[in-house]
Amino acid sequence: MDAPRPSTALFDVYLRLRPAPTPDTDRFLAVEHPPSADAHPTHITIRAPANDNRKRAVEKFAFTRVFEEGAGQRELFESTGILPLIEGVLGKEGREGRDGLVATLGVTGSGKSHTILGSKSQRGLTQLALDVLYHQTAPHLVETETSPAVFASLASADVSEAYLLPAGHFLDAMYSSGSSTESRGSTYSRATTPALVRETPSSYIHMHCPGAFPTIDSVVAASKRAAAAAARPSMAVFDRLTYPSLSKYHHHHHPPSPLSPHKPQPAPNLPPPPQDSSFISLPPQPPTSKRHPPRLSALPTHPSTADLATLPAPDPTAAYAILISIKPPPNPARRRPLLFKPTEHSPDRKVVAGLRKIVCTSLAHALLVLETGLQERRVAGTGTNAASSRSHGFFCVEVKKRLRATRTANEGPWSTATLTIVDLAGSERARTAKTAGATLAEAGKINESLMYLGQCMQMQADNATASTAGAAQGVNNGGVPQANLVPYRQCKLTELLFSNSFAREGGGGGVRARQQRGVMIVTADPWGDFNATGQILRYSALAREVTVARVASVTGAIVGGAARAASGMGTAGGGAGQEELEAALAALAALREEVEVAQMLLAEETRRRQAAELSWNVAELRCEAVEAEVREEVWGEFEARMAGEQRRWRAGRAAEMDAQDEHLDRKLELLTLGLDLERAGVWEDESAETEAGKENVAPAESHFYSEDLSPSNTGKHRHHTSHHDIDIDIDIDIDMSTTEGAKTADSPAAAHLRARNSLLAREMLQLEDANRALRERLAKAEQPQQQRSPSKKMRVLKTASRGWAGSGVGLDDC
């Protein structure tokens, strides 16, 4: 069985074994060493301890690499791909960084916290990662403790509704003047944390340092005020928000701690430091409002990262800022679920809203903030592990990056990549752990979230195996292996861990470039709980194989009994009969073993099927909910559009009818006018004087009036209009001489006539305009019909020529 090395994997999975607490006991887990001395082990096998009579199958698991009991923190740090993760977070030159995830998973007491956070004498992966990060970015870090403008730019670039604080500010607010208290111990142990009953830091801050937390708004406002006060030194305002040097957290008897061999720490030249040792070393104390800062020199400095062979390279063209996120301690009375927010890059990329983000400009600051964060993590002792972590711990190191200002260009916008380090709470069996009440309920939740995590990991392992098998057989689906969806949205834990691994940004081809890469370190105690460890190994391993164990004792007993029976039967059967019997018994034993393995496989498959059914049901419910939501949304939009269309159509129709009415009114008005004139006898008289041969007008046409406006007084103006089913021909033939005659006569009738004439002339012009517009509309309406059918075209032409025939106005005039 080879360990698949999938290219599409969410993360590499490493196994770390912890040293034996009592080495002389039997271990159930064995490491398979590869034949070559240079190669690292990748496989382990587990077999049930002797006292477990139920299962006899041997299970074999494959991991990216197995670290045996002797492996130290430094070896783990160097060999688990964390350095490339850090390089990814820093980002290549001119490019944004990529998120990285380091997580530990294992049964309670198997060494997760030891791996991630270290112990009193050894640094964990988190401290080592911070050391490398600060060492590599030191020349490129922006100064936020003293520069309000830079701090404000960071604050305004954060989209997660976080509270940004400079580290000095934060630490001072957390550990204000309690420095005169006596030393109460010197042992550093995280195990004492659960018993500490103190004010939560946030309540302390609000009670004792009102306004001490600068919100984004207050810092931005402060920076604006500072910029505006040009006469004063611009630092004046920010000084009030700036906090004392880190060196006050050093013990005066100790030299500055060489936390990072690469970067000297500030000298301890401040007021007499507290006699107290690190707050994490305190035995249980009565409630008090004072807290004491961790003593920097008490924090472990081993192992060092000074002589690492390869270090991640930062972007030389960029400026960096490093922020450490801390979730404010929850109010037990009003526990709220984590609030996720999509980021500016993609709705899939989620961040937790409402965190405190501490801008740390040095490793020492970062370590102090980390220690402070650890205090806020809820730890409650259980029967299994006295220092058991009863919550999943997330340590998020945000690396902000922007292009530095040059002579030709200003600095670019801040981009963010996050290194998330996760110490998952241990899975445990309630019976073993002897938990009760709220702690038992919490354990149930933790186990549930770990179950969902297990499903995701199994799915990823299956995908990876399928992809490797597909690649080996050259079978693929258009170059893309068919992968099952990893159900990471089932719970907050898996969403937090993996939403960035699947985030699609922008919809373009290069969207996967920023997807998160991860490292999962599974911890196991080879002498611990066989069942619980086996369960975790089953869902976390990259591959698994079940083989039959030799059940020599049982088979031997059967064979021995059979042989005795055979010999008791006398010598009649002879040697041949006995051999036959032995062979039959051996076959029987082999069949029994097969049945047992088949039963185990069946049980495993049943469990997986049930898990798959569960996720299927959840997915179906989600689909239904989404479908209903989409339906409702589409229906609402459709109805709104329909109503809009109806409104528009009604308005258009009303306007059209108004235009028609107006047109008809005007025609009627003209008709009435013409009739009036006719009645007055003007037209009859004048028509007698008009020249002979004047064109007759078709009876169907309306002959309203004629007016001769030509200079020679002999011209006539004809007007034809057609609107829908109404055809109107207007002949205007006004004899100006008559008008002149009338003018000369200067009778009331002549004056009336003149007035009428000029009114008519105006009306005629308006009518002409309306007529022209109508003709254009008619022509447009007829055009498609003419194009469609030649016969129709002819019909239209005929109709048109008939319509214009009597008026003397050619089609070209239309």
Ligand X SMILES: Nc1ncnc2c1ncn2[C@@H]1O[C@H](COP(=O)(O)OP(=O)(O)OP(=O)(O)O)[C@@H](O)[C@H]1O
Closer CB to ligand X, 119 or 317, in the complex: 119
Q: Does 187 bind ligand X (CB under 6 A)?
A: no
Q: Is 690 helix (H, G, I), strand (E, B) or coil?
A: coil
Distance CA(664)–CA(772), nearest Å, equals 16
Closer CB to ligand X, 113 or 265, in the complex: 113
Strands 340-342 and 717-723: unpaired
Distance CA(207)–CA(354), nearest Å, equals 20
Closer CB to ligand X, 110 or 144, in the complex: 110
* Nearest distance from C-beta of residue 109 to ligand X, angstroms: 5
Closer CB to ligand X, 113 or 416, in the complex: 113
Exposed (0-12), middle (13-18) or buried (19+): which is 103, by Cβ within 10 Å?
A: buried
Distance CA(331)–CA(254), nearest Å, equals 38
Residue ranges of alpha helices (H) inside 520-573 are: 530-540, 552-568
Q: Does 558 bind ligand X (CB under 6 A)?
A: no
* Nearest distance from C-beta of residue 389 to ligand X, angstroms: 3
* Nearest distance from C-beta of residue 530 to ligand X, angstroms: 16
Question: Does residue 273 have a cis bond before it (omega within 30 degrees)?
Answer: no
Of 385-393, 407-415, 543-551, 660-668, the window that binds ligand X (rule: CB under 6 A) is: 385-393
Q: Is 359 helix (H, G, I), strand (E, B) or coil?
A: strand
Q: Is 324 helix (H, G, I), strand (E, B) or coil?
A: strand
* Nearest distance from C-beta of residue 87 to ligand X, angstroms: 26
How far the first Cα of the chain sits from its last, in Å, is 89
Closer CB to ligand X, 112 or 719, in the complex: 112
Using CB under 6 A as the binding rule, the residues of this chain from 89 to 128 that contact ligand X are: 106, 108-114, 119
> Which of 3, 6, 18, 153 is close enough to bind ligand X by CB under 6 A?
18
Q: Does 147 bind ligand X (CB under 6 A)?
A: no
Number of residues engaging ligand X in binding (CB under 6 A) = 18
Q: Does 389 bind ligand X (CB under 6 A)?
A: yes
Q: Does 499 bind ligand X (CB under 6 A)?
A: no
Q: Does 514 bind ligand X (CB under 6 A)?
A: no
- The H helix count followed by the E strand count for the chain is 20, 17
Q: What is the DSSP string of 636-679?
A: HHHHHHHHHHHHHHHHHHHHHHHHHHHHHHHHHHHHHHHHHHHH
Q: Does 19 bind ligand X (CB under 6 A)?
A: yes
Closer CB to ligand X, 64 or 108, in the complex: 108
> Which of 388, 460, 468, 807 is close enough to bind ligand X by CB under 6 A?
388
Closer CB to ligand X, 106 or 168, in the complex: 106
Distance CA(805)–CA(532), nearest Å, equals 104
> Which of 385, 531, 713, 737 is close enough to bind ligand X by CB under 6 A?
385
The pair of three-digit structure tokens given for residue 749, joined into one six-digit string: 């009738």
Q: Is 332 helix (H, G, I), strand (E, B) or coil?
A: helix
Site string for ligand X, 424-443 (x = CB under 6 A): -xx-----------------
* Nearest distance from C-beta of residue 202 to ligand X, angstroms: 24
* Nearest distance from C-beta of residue 527 to ligand X, angstroms: 12
Helices 363-375/125-137 angle, 10° precision: 150
* Of residues 498, 396, 426, 423, the one with CA closest to residue 455: 498
Of 386-394, 473-481, 504-512, 616-624, the window that binds ligand X (rule: CB under 6 A) is: 386-394
**What one-letter code names the amino acid at 624?**
E
What are the φ/ψ torsions at residue 541 (nearest 5 degrees)? -65, 155
Of 208-216, 227-235, 387-395, 700-708, the window that binds ligand X (rule: CB under 6 A) is: 387-395
Site string for ligand X, 252-271 (x = CB under 6 A): --------------------
* Of residues 535, 541, 523, 542, the one with CA closest to residue 604: 535
* Nearest distance from C-beta of residue 117 to ligand X, angstroms: 8
Q: Which residues bind ligand X (CB under 6 A)?
A: 18-19, 106, 108-114, 119, 385, 387-389, 425-426, 523
